[in-house]
């Protein structure tokens, strides 16, 4: 039995450390409560602190060595689980952590990035009550857009080494029209220019899709500008399909997308 255990451990370690180009490793979940809140075989981004699948919304801290780590996770209901996994064989010195906004520092950084995003656009977001949204972002239960209480969430990506804020994305419950009212709507996906090319945008999209599923959504919509070529590419690559306008947006050159949240994002990307 002991030899079989050693063989199993070696196979798991080899598989995780040898696939240096694969962003996900299989994890084993060890529950510390009588009720299982996660299942074996879930995915966790190697080197990041976001645990996929032990929700509804999970924030985790990063502890351990360069080749094997333990990630203790506190879930919303108060149960605690431990996830044991392997890091990439060659972890990058500037890995990216994605998490829910936690504290004033995250809120201030997120507001700054969202403001930067709005200022980069050739249109005004005043018709979306942008200033009110920005003022309440990260304000806990006072946030009527992105708090879990109202079916929302807002994420920030930070550099693991420097703690620099790299990008943001949010989800809230869409409230207009008839066909898509009540669906998840992705909002404010933005990566700072200096952080582009590191896969931050893809990690944010992966995570917000997972978070939306944990919140109980099965369909997501979004809108973007046609001139934002990189944004359109990433949406299409992640299974979003173009649809007619789903709400009254006075801005020119707007494109609208939707996708099901019932299928696996990884299987939709080529």
pLDDT tens per residue across span 53-97: 333 333 333 333 333 334 444 444 444 444 444 333 333 445 888
In this predicted structure, the answer to whether residue 207 has a pLDDT above a threshold of 60 is yes
In this predicted structure, the answer to whether residue 113 has a pLDDT above a threshold of 90 is yes
Question: Using CA atoms, how far apart are residues 2 and 270, in angstroms rounded to an integer?
Answer: 41
Q: What is the pLDDT of residue 131?
A: 93
Using alpha carbons, select from 209, 103, 193, 105 the residue that is nearest to residue 153. Answer: 209
> What are the start-end ranges of the E strands in the chain?
24-26, 28-31, 43-45, 58-60, 63-64, 68-75, 80-86, 96-100, 153-159, 165-173, 184-191, 219-225, 241-243, 254-260
Multiple choice CATH, 96-267, 3.30.450.20, 3.30.360.10, 3.40.630.30, 3.40.50.720: 3.40.630.30
Neighbouring C-alpha atoms within 13 Å toward the C-beta of 235: 26
Mean pLDDT score of the chain? 72
In this predicted structure, the answer to whether residue 255 has a pLDDT above a threshold of 80 is yes
Question: Using CA atoms, how far apart are residues 71 and 50, in angstroms rounded to an integer?
Answer: 9
Contact 99, 50 (CB under 8 A): yes
| Ranges for all domains in the chain classified under CATH 3.40.630.30 | 96-267
Q: What is the pLDDT of residue 144?
A: 85
Percent of the chain with pLDDT over 90: 46
Stated pTM of the model: 0.67
In this predicted structure, the answer to whether residue 29 has a pLDDT above a threshold of 80 is no
Question: Residue written as tokens 């108060």?
Answer: 78
Question: Using CA atoms, how far apart are residues 120 and 162, in angstroms rounded to an integer?
Answer: 25
Q: What is the pLDDT of residue 75?
A: 41
The residue that leads in pLDDT, 227 or 177, is 227
Q: What is the pLDDT of residues 158-175, one digit of tens each?
A: 998 899 999 999 999 998
């Amino acid at each position: 039995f002991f030899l079989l255990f050693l063989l199993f451990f070696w196979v798991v370690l080899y598989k995780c450390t040898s696939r240096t180009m694969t962003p996900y490793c299989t994890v084993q979940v060890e529950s510390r409560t009588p009720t299982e809140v996660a299942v074996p075989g879930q995915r966790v981004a190697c080197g990041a602190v976001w645990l996929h699948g032990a929700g509804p919304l999970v924030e985790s801290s990063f502890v351990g060595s360069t080749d094997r780590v333990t990630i203790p996770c506190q879930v919303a209901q108060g149960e605690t689980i431990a996830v044991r996994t392997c890091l990439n064989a060659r972890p990058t010195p500037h890995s990216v952590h994605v998490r829910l906004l936690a504290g004033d520092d995250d809120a201030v950084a997120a507001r700054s990035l969202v403001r930067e995003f709005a200022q980069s656009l050739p249109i005004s977001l005043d018709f979306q009550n942008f200033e009110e949204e920005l003022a309440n972002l990260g304000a806990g239960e006072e946030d009527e857009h992105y708090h879990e209480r109202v079916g929302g969430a807002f994420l920030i990506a930070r550099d693991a080494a420097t703690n620099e804020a790299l990008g943001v994305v949010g989800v809230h419950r869409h409230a207009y029209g008839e066909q898509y009212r009540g669906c998840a709507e992705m909002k404010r996906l933005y990566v700072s220019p200096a952080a582009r090319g590191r896969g931050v945008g893809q990690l944010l999209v992966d995570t917000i899709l997972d978070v939306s599923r944990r919140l109980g959504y099965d369909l997501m919509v979004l809108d973007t500008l046609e001139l934002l070529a990189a944004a359109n590419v990433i949406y299409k690559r992640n299974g979003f399909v173009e649809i007619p306008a789903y709400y009254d947006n006075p801005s020119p050159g707007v494109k609208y997308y939707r996708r099901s949240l019932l299928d696996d994002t990884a299987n939709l990307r080529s």
